[in-house]
Chain A
Amino acid sequence: MEKQYETVIGLEVHVELATKTKIFCGCSTAFGGEPNTHTCPVCTGMPGSLPVLNKRVLEYAVAVGLATNCEITKYCKFDRKNYFYPDNPQNYQISQLYLPICRNGNVEIETENGKKLVGIHEIHMEEDAGKLIHDEWDDCSLVDYNRSGVPLIEIVSEPDMRSAQEVIAYLEKLRMTIQYLGASDCKLQEGSMRADVNLSVREAGAEAFGTRTEMKNLNSFKAIARAIEGERERQIDLLESGHKVIQETRRWDDAKGESYAMRSKEDAQDYRYFPDPDLVPVVLDNAFLDEIRRKQPEFREDKMARYKREFDLPDYDIDIITAAKRMADLFEATVALGAQPKKVSNWLMVETLRLLKEKEMDPEDIRFSPEHLAKLISLADSKAVNSTVAKEVFEEMFENDIDPEKYVEEKGLKTVNDESALRRAVEKVIADNPQSVTDYRGGKEKAIGFLVGQTMKAMKGKADPGMVNQLLKELL
Chain B
Amino acid sequence: MSILDKTATELGAAIKNGEVTVMQAVEASLSRIEESESLYNCYVTVDREGALAKAQEIQKKIDQGILTGPLAGVPTAIKDNMCTQGLLTTCSSKILGNFVPTFSAQAVLNLERAGAVILGKTNMDEFAMGSTTETSAFGETKNPWNPGHVPGGSSGGSAAAVAAGECFYALGSDTGGSIRQPASFCGVVGMKPTYGTVSRYGLIAYGSSLDQIGPLCKDVRDCATIMEILASHDPKDSTSIKRDDTDFTDALVEDVKGLRIGIPRDYFGEGLDPEIKEAVFGAAKVLKEKGALVEEFDLSLAEYAIPAYYTIAAAEASSNLERFDGIKYGYRTQNYSGLHNMYKKSRSEGFGPEVKRRIMLGSFVLSSGYYDAYYLKALRVKALIKKAFDDAFAKYDMILGPVAPATAPRLGESLSDPIKMYLGDIYTISVNLAGLPGLSVPCGIDSRGLPIGLQLIGDCFQEKKLIRAAYTYERARGGFAGPMQNTGSGVSGGSAGAGEEA
Contact = CB atoms under 8 A, between A and B. Distances in A.
Is B a genuine binding partner of A? yes
Interface of A: 41, 44-53, 80, 82, 84, 86, 89-92, 143, 270, 272-274, 277-280
Given A92-B319, A270-B368, A278-B238, A84 B200 contact: no
A280 B241 CA distance: 11
Contacts of B368: 270, 272
A318 to B, nearest CB: 46
B101 A46 contact: yes
B475 interface: no
Contacts of B318: 82, 272
B363 A280 contact: no
Contacts of B325: 84, 86, 91
10 shortest A-B CB distances, which residue pairs? A91-B322, A277-B209, A272-B366, A277-B208, A48-B202, A48-B83, A47-B204, A90-B323, A45-B323, A270-B368
B202 A51 contact: no
A39 to B, nearest CB: 11
A80 B321 CA distance: 13
B323 A91 contact: yes
B337 interface: no
A91, A277, A278 interface centre (most CB from chain B within 10 Å): A277
Contacts of B425: none
B201 A48 contact: yes
Given A47-B204, A50-B237, A89-B328, A41 B103 contact: yes
A274 B315 contact: yes
B474 interface: no
B285 interface: no
B404 interface: no
Contacts of B201: 48-50
17 contacts: A41-B103, A46-B329, A47-B83, A47-B89, A47-B101, A47-B323, A48-B83, A48-B105, A51-B238, A89-B328, A91-B322, A270-B368, A272-B367, A272-B371, A277-B207, A278-B208, A279-B238
A272 B361 CA distance: 12
B373 interface: no
Contacts of B99: 47
Contacts of B239: 277-278, 280
Contacts of A86: 325, 327, 339
A134 to B, nearest CB: 12
Q: Is the interface of A mostly helix, strand, loop or mixed?
A: loop
Interface residues of B, number: 44
A44 B103 CA distance: 13
Nearest to A278: B208
Contacts of B371: 272-274
Contacts of B343: 84
A44 B105 CA distance: 16
B375 interface: yes
Contacts of B328: 44-46, 89
Contacts of B83: 47-48
Given A49-B201, A50-B201, 7 more contacts: A46-B101, A49-B202, A90-B323, A272-B367, A274-B366, A277-B208, A278-B238
A41 B105 CA distance: 12
Contacts of B238: 50-53, 278-280
B235 interface: yes
B96 interface: yes
A52 B324 CA distance: 21
Contacts of A91: 322-323, 325
Nearest to A274: B366
B315 A270 contact: no
Contacts of A90: 322-323
Given A86-B327, A272-B367, A52 B319 contact: no
Contact of A82 (B208, B209, B319): B319
Contacts of A41: 102-103
Nearest to A280: B238
A45 B323 CA distance: 7
B319 A80 contact: yes
A272 B319 contact: yes
Contacts of B102: 41, 46
Interface string B343-369: 100000000000000000001001110
B398 to A, nearest CB: 27
Contacts of A46: 101-103, 328-329
A399 to B, nearest CB: 43
B420 interface: no
Contacts of A89: 323, 328
Contacts of A273: 366, 371
B302 to A, nearest CB: 23
A222 B105 CA distance: 50
B96 A47 contact: yes
Interface string B78-120: 0000110000010100001001011101000000000000000
Contacts of A48: 82-83, 101, 103, 105, 201-205
B350 to A, nearest CB: 13
B236 interface: yes
Contacts of A49: 201-202
Contacts of A53: 238
Contacts of A52: 235-238
Interface string B190-206: 00000000001111110
A272 B363 CA distance: 7
B498 to A, nearest CB: 36
A467 to B, nearest CB: 70
B134 interface: no
B316 interface: yes
A52 B203 CA distance: 15
Contacts of A92: 319, 322
Interface in B133-175: none
Interface string B272-315: 00000000000000000000000000000000000000000001
Interface in B441-476: none
A36 to B, nearest CB: 11
A46 B340 CA distance: 21
A440 B371 CA distance: 94
A21 to B, nearest CB: 14
